[in-house]
Structure 1
Amino acid sequence: MTAYDAIVLAGGAAKRLGGADKPAVRVGGRPLLDRVLAACPDAGTTVVVGDRRPTARAVTWAREVPAGGGPLAALGAGVRHTSAERVLVLSADLPFLGADTVAALLAASAREGVEGALCSDEDGRDQPLVAVYRGEPLRRELACLAAEHGGLAGLPLRLLTRELTLCRVAAGPLASFDCDTWEDIASARARIREHGTVLDEWITAVKEELGIDLDVDTGLLLDLARDAAHGVARPAAPLTTFLVGYAAAKASGEGGGPEAVAEAARRATALALRWADENGTP
């Protein structure tokens, strides 16, 4: 992964949300801001431009002057705290942004002859707040704009992007989905409950809530829960999966590990199957 810093713009009046604190609005039980921060955990420095609030991981705080001065002023405030060759720039209202999109932007920004890469949505519209910019050209153009206009407050982002040589990365259908209205929030909340994604969303939320950084085979655990429920009794499913986690942590030290979980799950599954085989056996 290319070294990079990240700037997340979390200010703004959120007028279409009735002035609500948009970065703190929850989707899938997690604030929008934390969902965005989860997409760039390996950033060298992560700067959040906006009012201070609790976050799932440590960040550097900054504020544009004047407050509410718009995205370019916020970007100018955030970039002062960065030093990496590349700067990831995101808005704080992207519930479905993933690390895969960040990686694609970083890779595209490394191409020869470009000064950055930004997402292009399904309709071909540029998304300058889902982008990676090379640090030196970004700082140069921000300084030029500030000098030309007497500051950055109130200036549109297109004044920056039109001066940079940027390539486009076609985002997935949801990567650049942002939440500007309560209808958008409702849509995002409904999407994460869809059958194909709800388990991944739930497991991610639980791991973040509990401070667990562990990738395990959830299919293996679900199979174990099924076998315990069918072969023993329905209440055995949650109790067995809890005991597997406890055994894995005990076996491999604090926090456990994916291999320990898999081994404990295999042994518990074998026991559940042996238990089931005894049904009706004299």
Structure 2
Amino acid sequence: MTSPPEGVPVVVLAGGSSRRFGSDKLAAPLGGSSVLERAVAGIPSGWPVVLVGPPRPLARPGARWVREDPPGGGPLAAVLTGLAACDGGVVAVLAGDMPAGGVVLRSLVAALGTDETVGAAVAEDDDGRVTPLLGVYRRSSLAHLGLGTGHGGRAMALLDAGYVAVRVGAAAARDVDTPQALAAAEAEADLGAAGASAIHAGDRPPG
């Protein structure tokens, strides 16, 4: 399956109470930016972005904000609200606390393929756990979940219509729910920056 020229619309979940983290995890500093900014920055350029949650400043051009129905209704309600704000038969979902998740969305779109009996392609971590909040969905696979019915519902209901799992690795599948998870994401960001610096240094001619 190839993406349309304008890209696949992406619903970014940017609400939640951050109870386990202890403060606003999406605003937590990470790699010179924030957790949410890093997640959104990984989304391919030009893909439409709809964020679900209380509006906040964001660098992404053209990003739109909507509020989940009902407010505070949880991730399933947020996905359904974002879905209603998007066009197209295929929609991506990204949790805003997954700072490295956006970079694998192209791979998930490719994995969804053209088999209409497969409703979704979702990320799987190195331990074999799938996360419905990093995935690509056919709109038809979510038709049984009507807007407003997701209050307090389990996000795993998104997978009812069947899915393929795509191994994306620990970094892409990590959600920053705790200070310890933020520290791990920060270490990975530092390693990525160091690797990029080494590559650029190697490209320079000897002085």
Q: Quick check: TM above 0.5?
A: yes
- For the pair 1:218 / 2:194, whether they are aligned, the reply is no
- Structure 1 residue runs of 4 or more that deviate by more than 6 Å after TM superposition: none
Which of 113, 129, 134 is the matching residue for 2:138?
A: 134
Q: Which runs of 5+ in 2 are unaligned?
A: none
Query: Which of 170, 173, 178 does residue 176 from structure 1 map onto?
Result: 173
Aligned AA (1:133): Y
Q: TM-score, normalised by structure 2?
A: 0.87
Residue 173 of structure 1 and its aligned partner are, at CA, apart by 2.7
Q: 1:191 aligns with which of 177, 182, 188?
A: 188
Q: In the alignment, does 2:80 pair up with 1:80?
A: no
Q: Matches of 1:158 and 1:57 in 2, distance apart?
A: 28
3-state SS of 2:50 partner: strand
In the other structure, the counterpart of 2:68 is 64
| Residue identity matched to 1:67 | P
Within 5 Å, which residues of 2 pair with 1:35-114?
A: 35-42=38-45, 44-58=47-61, 59-99=63-103, 101-112=104-115, 113-114=117-118
Secondary structure in 2 aligned to 1:142?
coil
Aligned letter for 1:153?
A: H
Q: 1:2, 1:30 → 2: CA distance?
A: 28
Post-superposition CA distance 1:71-119 (Å, at most 9, x none): 01101111111112211101011122353x2111001112413111001
**Unaligned stretches of 5+ residues in structure 1:** 204-216, 228-282
SS in 2 for 1:17: coil
Query: For the structure 1 residues 193 and 155, does the alpha-carbon distance in structure 2 shift closer, same or farther, using more than 3 Å as the test?
Result: same
Separation in 2, partners of 1:43, 1:88: 14
Q: TM-score, normalised by structure 1?
A: 0.65
* Secondary structure in 2 matching 1:141: coil
Deviation at 1:151, TM superposition (A): 2.4
Which string of whole-angstrom CA distances, capped at 9 and with x for unpartnered residues, describes residues 119-167 of structure 1? 11111111101100012322x1222xx5xxx722101112231x21211
Query: What's 1:159 paired with?
Result: 157
Q: What RMSD over aligned residues (CA atoms) do the two structures have, in Å?
A: 2.2
Aligned length: 201
Cα distance in 1, alignment partners of residues 85 and 70 from structure 2: 18
Preserved CA contact (<8 Å) 1:8 1:91? yes
The structure whose residues are more often strand, as a share, is: 2
Over the matched positions of the two proteins, sequence identity in percent amounts to: 34
Larger radius of gyration: 1
Equivalent pair of 2:119/2:141 in contact (CA under 8 Å)? yes
